[in-house]
Amino acid sequence: MDRTAVFNIAFEMWGILICLFAFAVIFLQKNNNRDKKKVSLCMEAACIILLVADMLSWYYQGRSGQTAYYMLKISNFGVFFINYLYMTLFTFYLLVILNRGEIKMPARARGVVVLSAAGIVLLIISQFSDKLFYYIDDNNFYNRSSGYLLSQLIAVAGLVLSFSILLQYKKRLEKRVFWSSVLYFILPCISTVVVIFYYGISFQTISVVASTQIMFAVDMVEMDRSLARSRQEVERTKYEAEHDLLTGMYNKTAGMQRIREYIDNMTDEDSASLVFVDIDDFKSVNDTYGHAVGDYWIEKVAKFLRSDCYEEDVACRYGGDEYVVLHKGLSDISVLESKVIRFARKLQRKAMERGQNVHCSAGICQINGSGFSTEECMNVADTALYEAKKKGKNASVIHSISRDGTDRVTVLDKIETDIKKAQSRVEARISYMYTDIIYVNYENNKYRVIKGDSELNNAVSCANNYDEVIGLISNRFESDRSRKIVRDFLSRERMESYTGGNMGYQTENLRRRVLSVSCANNHGGASLIHAVPVDEDGDRGYFVVVQDLDIYAG
């Protein structure tokens, strides 16, 4: 074999491997159109046969013997036959990707089939005539006949008809798919012109196979992109069906479904907290500031609520200005209260920043164990919300339910009520939020955190005496003056001598049984320290309440 034959055989062997790989990929595809998959597999199989036939023709060319003669005739017959057949296969492929069930087979497509059939008939005749397409000489070499040009014109005519169909319906195709299909016409046409004037390398075979692989590769990429877009569209549709687009929360239907699934499947060891939040006087907010501002606050309240949720928690917009949040596994009342405090503080600061009177009320059902329906828990939370509204709004009420019944959390409500009444004489508008509430009884050496973070809770639980507890509270402040104010105010001597009058740094005896002092806090503002006397099961002690203040003209 000469170098040209070796080059063609080596090149075509690699082509066969590529086509086999492409055939396997198409065969294993599950999301491909059934008709498109069948035609694509036939085209890949045709490419493989074409390469094998052309490779054999190069291998047996010039070899002596009857076997070599017949193998050369069969292989060259196969090359011409597959080329004509491939015209029809490509046209069918084109119709499949263009059709989508909307167009009938154009007459030009039938024309391609007729040209393919005519070419195959003439090819068969040429096997018995040396003057049609080609002939094998006495030295067992392939030679072109006088009618060879006709064989090429038939192929070009078929390409032109198919190309006209592609151009007519190109808007039905993705741009990349269209241009990759155009390659099927460009490369074979160029190679046909080349082989008419030069014979030595299998340009036509290589161009057909190469354009096919490029076309299928681009088509598979576009199909993957199309599937990705479809998945994104499905996900977007699902998201819009389950979410409130203004807030990004679950809508009522989707949110309550998830809440119901969790509550209905709770075991005796499980716990959860169901929070029902409502923007106070929301109609007034809309009327005063406009609906655009109302939408802003609906979105902002949702953002603040979601910021304190874990991934497994469920938050939904229940109605116009109502929200429901389920904190899964939350049984610690102090942690729950801290969440409510953080939410209210964020909302308060944003409202003051914008100079708008916006606040929320919350009703909370703390669920312990199984046996409760979602409706029961929602009713408890709704009742708690109603009570918060009755308390003057901008408040929260927690009800805890277990198998023993409903246990209302009243200690914090009592403190809040006492302090609110005590502050009723102040002529400024005071926006406040508790940061720490600690029960102290120095006579019986009892101390516990009612509300506060885990750091304070751990520190107080380890305290040995009253002085250590007071030190922990005072150390929450940065300035020496503030720490001294707190220590002096909460000293045992002052608590014991307290009779209701002014003393020390006390700013005002706002209410007969509530003692208060003010000092600078760590946030550049002021804090109030309250001492609220309480008689708990015969033990007389105090609730020490550390309260951040934002005071502005009323």
What domains does the chain contain, in order, with CATH numbers? 3-235 (1.20.1070.10), 243-409 (3.30.70.270), 410-554 (3.30.450)
Residue 497 is predicted with a pLDDT of 62
pLDDT in tens, 96-148: 888 755 567 788 889 999 999 999 999 999 888 877 888 888 888 888 888 88
Residue at token pair 């501002």: 293
Residue 453 has pLDDT above 70, yes or no: no
Residue 466 CB neighbours (<10 A): 19
pLDDT digits (tens, 9 = 90+) for 17-53: 988 998 898 888 877 778 888 888 998 899 999 989 9
244: helix, strand or coil: coil
- Supply the pLDDT for residue 534: 66
Share of the chain above pLDDT 70, in %: 83
- Does residue 481 or residue 253 have the better pLDDT? 253
Tokens representing 513 are: 């049984």
Mean of the per-residue pLDDT values for the chain? 80
Pick the residue with more confidence: 223 or 250?
250
CB environment 519-536: b (16+ within 10 A), e (fewer)? bebeeeebbbbbbbebee
pLDDT bin (cut points 50, 70, 90) of residue 65 is confident
Q: Residue 192: which of 202, 179, 180 has the closest Cα?
A: 202
CA distances for 356 relative to 288, 312, 321, 323, 340, angstroms? 9, 33, 17, 21, 20
The lowest-confidence range among 114-128, 177-191, 434-448, 507-521 is: 507-521
Mean pLDDT check: name the lowest of 206-210, 274-278, 387-391.
206-210
Looking at the whole model, is its pTM more than 0.75? no
**Max mean pLDDT range (290-304, 347-361, 445-459, 470-484):** 290-304
Average pLDDT over residues 356-372: 91
The pLDDT score that the predictor gives to residue 243 is 93
pLDDT of residue 217: 82
- Give the side-chain half-sphere CA count within 13 A for 200: 5
**CB contact at 8 A, 94 and 181:** yes
**pLDDT value at 505 more than 50:** no
Structure letter (DSSP) for residue 104:
P
pLDDT-derived band of residue 412, with 50, 70 and 90 as boundaries? Answer: very low
pLDDT band at 314 (very low <50, low <70, confident <90, very high): very high
Mean pLDDT within 532-542: 64
Q: How many CB atoms lie within 10 A of CB 282?
A: 18
